[in-house]
Structure 1
């Protein structure tokens, strides 16, 4: 997978389209919750396979953390380690910006996936867009 940080409106639209397919259509998250005010200032990532956009995420810097958000892979491309690849790309940008810690809110069904990548659960379960989540932190990148 070729991972790019969006540089133009077309690439950003690729990210929003993937997020809409995964979160809005597949998981039934209201579009007004999925696309929010943070999208204007976040760093957006898109993963491409054969020039087709298949994965997306966004990164923000909040307090002392790089905050990984909106990580998703189209259903037919899951199970190929693309989520792991896009997270590695995000963590690299976090380090390049002088941060040493990463944080994310994981859907509880993905908690084990993030644990394998070095993230530790630091919260009780909570609902976000009606979906159970936990906050997870990686202390050292």
Structure 2
């Protein structure tokens, strides 16, 4: 379900970047117990970042890195109170639109196993065995755009 109260943007200001980082910190560090040193890394400097606002409140975030043959989607997250509303699917649609605009036709991501069902519903397929990242089970998934 798409909501007119959502605004999804490609980060273009320091404020928007801080908003994206605040959502990531809330979801990954505070909710899931990931170390801030793992959550924030040097890849943030060159990535394309996204932030989803709900009624002006930062409620979702993600980043993409454009690699040689595919776009790698990373740090995709939605605030707990927004899960199940369609916000995640809307964020992914905006990301995939940007990936295509950048000239890529394959998106890959490392999904937390508990979230892999969400990604399957929007067209991603598992292309790896299960592995641990930041103490959380993950699988690599991909989608042709």
- Residue 116 (structure 2) pairs with residue 100 (structure 1): no
Unaligned runs of 5+ in 1: none
What SS is found at the alignment partner of 1:118? coil
Partner of 1:11: 16
Partner of 1:134: 139
Partner of 2:62: 57
Unaligned runs of 5+ in 2: 1-5
Give the TM-score normalised by the residue count of structure 1.
0.97
Q: Aligned pairs, how many?
A: 140
Deviations, residues 65-123 of structure 1 (Å, cap 9, x unaligned): 11111011111111101111111101001100111111000000011111111111010
* 1:37 to partner: Cα distance: 0.4
CA-based RMSD = 0.7
What SS is found at the alignment partner of 2:115? helix
1:14-53 to 2 correspondence within 5 Å?
14-53=19-58
* 1:32 to partner: Cα distance: 0.4
Work out the CA distance in 1 between the residues paired with 2:136 and 2:67.
22
What SS is found at the alignment partner of 2:12? coil
2:94 aligned residue (80, 85, 89): 89
